[in-house]
Amino acid sequence: MSQPIATPSGRAIAGGIATFYGRQFTGARTASGQRYAPDALTAAHRTLPFGTRLQVTNPRNGNSVIVTINDRGPFHANRVLDLSDAAADQIGIRNAGSGKVELAVLDN
């Protein structure tokens, strides 16, 4: 199990439920034009600009990860973020399939 990591704090924005991409999307183009890589620390958000660095924290265990927004989504009304496999694993929601997260935009 991963341990909480020290990360810089940023401007808090609305959190909610995050899910993650499956490995079946490996190599598919994201909305930014990049190819999805499950081992990269990336995420999809509906409105944040591509390239935004976002601190994602799992409040249940305190684990955080910094991801870069490179895609649009999720397209399910009750979700705020789709994480790469690696990012979901780092904060401990991969096995559950989804989890509550807190979000903070970091200065680039």
Q: Which pLDDT tens digit goes with each residue over 32-64?
A: 999 999 999 999 999 999 999 999 999 999 999
> Percent of the chain, pLDDT > 70?
91
What pTM was computed for the model?
0.87
User: Span 22-105: which CATH code?
Assistant: 2.40.40.10
Residue 78 to residue 24: CA distance in whole angstroms: 23
**What b/e readout covers 44-79, taking b as 16+ CB neighbours within 10 angstroms?**
bbeebeeebbbbbbbeeeebbbbbbbbbbbbeeeeb
At 76, the pLDDT band (50, 70, 90 cuts) reads confident
Q: According to the model, what pLDDT value does residue 77 have? A: 84
